[in-house]
Structure 1
């Protein structure tokens, strides 16, 4: 292959039609293709019927195996200029092999979100205790994830909140991080003119992948405590719940008699979103930024969500709808937006501003390109200054490396 090779080590095969993470990965693949990179996407996961057709994008697919030195030969022969780890778990498993076999390759971690933050928030929610950064700092998963960040040359962060958490609370060097949210095209005036008007839309929508614990909890909370309040004020209203891989406990909530409709996976999410009047994103825990919330903005649909739902997404600009915390507050805001065209139109315009100012593909792509060029030209110096990263890469700290080697030898004897 040519010198400009990007190797992506995926935690899963990307599913842009069903997950925000899949869309995020597709945006990064598009960026590197636009820069002339030959791309190889490797993963230990199994493909699904919703997996992206990488062949159609002229991206090579490679199945890899954990704890297998065959990966060493593969990556030496490939000799990538950049290795992109999809979430910290792939860096834990393969990062040391990358460093040993292609030491000059630029190592980038796409965090998607801080998994440790999401996990600790989920545990805190289930225990009924407030989340605190003190609790987050004490968890092993936090230490593992931050260690991955330090071992990489650059980590891509989608959320302004998570950027602040790493730079202000943990005092990580800003040069190791890049705020890079979703790379979206501007919403043009032509697109806006094609949107259905307030009077042409009806009902509510709730959308999210069923494999994602925050989404399942959001639907259950909506059904149990929020929807009865909305339905009481709007007795003819309906809410449609969409998402791939919805679990049985969600499917059983399908109750047409109360206007609660569980639809499952939407083959065309934009179509169902563009016909809905209000999106409900009743998230009680989670991390990162929410692809469903930028997607609804791209379809001119206001959202009612929580502070967790909107976290790291609006940078002090007016939200595209309303942010509320309790069932009563969420229901009140949803009813107001649903019935007041003036407020609805203002929320829609706020969404246009958010997408065009904070998620501008051209500006963000330029930001990434400049940082990558600087790192390529100054990689040795960059790594010298990242002493903690060098320390974590030292042989005395590489427990995952030696565990992997032990597992490999054990597998050979069985």
Structure 2
């Protein structure tokens, strides 16, 4: 092994931790690898954004790369990373064959974020007013692409136990290719709790979520048209503050001061706006993965009302930090109950702290992840021999994608 371990992260976008849970997740992974002594380079073909994090402030080198450009081959050969992490399967599709050709001994990791095929299949079923069925996944082109990417990689990082089980049972993915690594959070202790606003210091309701993410936009429509009027009838003075990055004009048009439905746009500090709210509302009707907004609510000591989709794979056998319901009337009733009843509210808050500490504390995962990475790097040839289908896909993808990419590159000249 090289004395200086190098990690190359190939990102779909530059991390924006204040815009989405995915941005926060990426910084957690960077922190995890930094603790293992890795020198880290983050490369992306995305445009710079006003809200991207200063990677150099985290001790990470930033590199802009281009799709279908052999300059990447020169760059990665020179860097010679020992580990390459693809941020979402689309980046593995674009750059995986180049990594395999130029750095064949580099460990290839995929951070799935959530299963895109599951989210899209659920969204499609919802819009067609049908019940989602696991068999719906098999007709999705995205599923074929995503599963192929998982098979080509040496290890895929999964944030949802439900999605791991789905990959193993429905798609027959070998367990050796999957690794459960959820959001990695600081534990909640007495000092943290002491600094949080009290029940009396808080008021109103809040929804927060990136509006580029379709499940969030749908949830806000659902709140506006169906759920919020039921709550407002019971609590005439209450307000729902809706925060989220990248609101479109159709989102902004939902703003109605008279109805107490306020579109606030991007939150400068998401935790600050969640901390001063008494209840988080998250009526998500489709989606996948772990919901960052609901973990953030727990960190802020803010109870939530959500759906079975919202809470999926998040709390294990522990009680939720509020209520889970898919019934509209019950959702509104529970929201009012949490807002008004301090005893129930405090119990829900405590439940959230327990979920964070027992399921997401980074100390639970750090050492095991280090051992896993070291084991794979020491046993990579055998690990790949055991994954024949992945090797076969890597072989054929390298051939087909390579020539398509070369053709595009020539065409662009």
How far has the Cα of 1:367 moved from its partner?
2.1
Structure 1 unaligned segments of length 5 or more: list them: none
For the residue of structure 2 that corresponds to 1:271, the secondary structure is: helix
How far has the Cα of 1:3 moved from its partner?
3.5
The CA deviation string for residues 191-221 of structure 1, in whole angstroms up to 9 with x for no partner, is 1122222122110000001111110111011
For the residue of structure 2 that corresponds to 1:128, the secondary structure is: coil
Whether 2:248 is the aligned partner of 1:213: answer no
Alignment match, 2:258: 257
Alignment match, 1:188: 189
Note closer, same or farther for the CA distance 1:80–1:340 as it changes in structure 2 (3 Å cut).
same
How far has the Cα of 1:400 moved from its partner?
2.6
Q: Check whether the contact 1:2–1:38 (CA below 8 A) recurs between aligned residues.
A: no
Alignment match, 2:6: 5
How far has the Cα of 1:278 moved from its partner?
0.2
Alignment match, 1:97: 98
For the residue of structure 2 that corresponds to 1:394, the secondary structure is: helix
Q: Check whether the contact 2:97–2:398 (CA below 8 A) recurs between aligned residues.
A: no
**CA–CA distance in 2 between the matches of 1:209 and 1:326?**
24
Whether 2:311 is the aligned partner of 1:310: answer yes
Q: Check whether the contact 1:3–1:81 (CA below 8 A) recurs between aligned residues.
A: no
For the residue of structure 2 that corresponds to 1:210, the secondary structure is: coil
Whether 2:73 is the aligned partner of 1:72: answer yes
Greater alpha carbon shift after TM alignment, 201-210 vs 365-374:
365-374
Note closer, same or farther for the CA distance 1:364–1:133 as it changes in structure 2 (3 Å cut).
same
How far has the Cα of 1:406 moved from its partner?
1.5
Q: Check whether the contact 1:3–1:80 (CA below 8 A) recurs between aligned residues.
A: no
How far has the Cα of 1:402 moved from its partner?
2.4
**CA–CA distance in 2 between the matches of 1:396 and 1:15?**
31
Alignment match, 1:41: 42
Greater alpha carbon shift after TM alignment, 162-171 vs 378-387:
162-171
Alignment match, 1:124: 125
Q: Check whether the contact 1:160–1:315 (CA below 8 A) recurs between aligned residues.
A: no
**CA–CA distance in 2 between the matches of 1:169 and 1:253?**
40
How far has the Cα of 1:171 moved from its partner?
2.0
Alignment match, 1:344: 345
How far has the Cα of 1:326 moved from its partner?
2.5
Q: What TM-score, normalized to structure 1?
A: 0.97
How far has the Cα of 1:399 moved from its partner?
3.0
Q: How does 1:17-32 map to 2 (within 5 A)?
A: 17-32=18-33
Alignment match, 1:136: 137
**CA–CA distance in 2 between the matches of 1:231 and 1:341?**
19
**CA–CA distance in 2 between the matches of 1:245 and 1:270?**
18
**CA–CA distance in 1 between the matches of 2:381 and 2:247?**
47
The CA deviation string for residues 40-90 of structure 1, in whole angstroms up to 9 with x for no partner, is 110000011100101111211111111111111110111000000000000
How far has the Cα of 1:396 moved from its partner?
6.9
The CA deviation string for residues 336-393 of structure 1, in whole angstroms up to 9 with x for no partner, is 1111111111110110000001001111112211110110111111000011101101
Q: How does 1:228-377 map to 2 (within 5 A)?
A: 228-377=229-378
**CA–CA distance in 1 between the matches of 2:268 and 2:310?**
24
Q: Check whether the contact 2:81–2:106 (CA below 8 A) recurs between aligned residues.
A: yes
How far has the Cα of 1:281 moved from its partner?
0.7
The CA deviation string for residues 103-130 of structure 1, in whole angstroms up to 9 with x for no partner, is 0000000000011111111111111111
The CA deviation string for residues 130-174 of structure 1, in whole angstroms up to 9 with x for no partner, is 111101122111011000000000000001110110112222111
Alignment match, 2:198: 197
Alignment match, 1:225: 226
Alignment match, 2:403: 402
**CA–CA distance in 2 between the matches of 1:374 and 1:96?**
23
Alignment match, 2:15: 14
Q: What TM-score, normalized to structure 2?
A: 0.98
How many residues align structurally? 412
Greater alpha carbon shift after TM alignment, 22-31 vs 263-272:
263-272
**CA–CA distance in 2 between the matches of 1:11 and 1:244?**
17
Alignment match, 2:58: 57
**CA–CA distance in 2 between the matches of 1:315 and 1:55?**
37
How well do the aligned residues superpose, as a CA RMSD in angstroms?
1.2
Whether 2:148 is the aligned partner of 1:153: answer no
The CA deviation string for residues 215-259 of structure 1, in whole angstroms up to 9 with x for no partner, is 011101100000000000111111100111111111111111111
Note closer, same or farther for the CA distance 1:8–1:296 as it changes in structure 2 (3 Å cut).
same
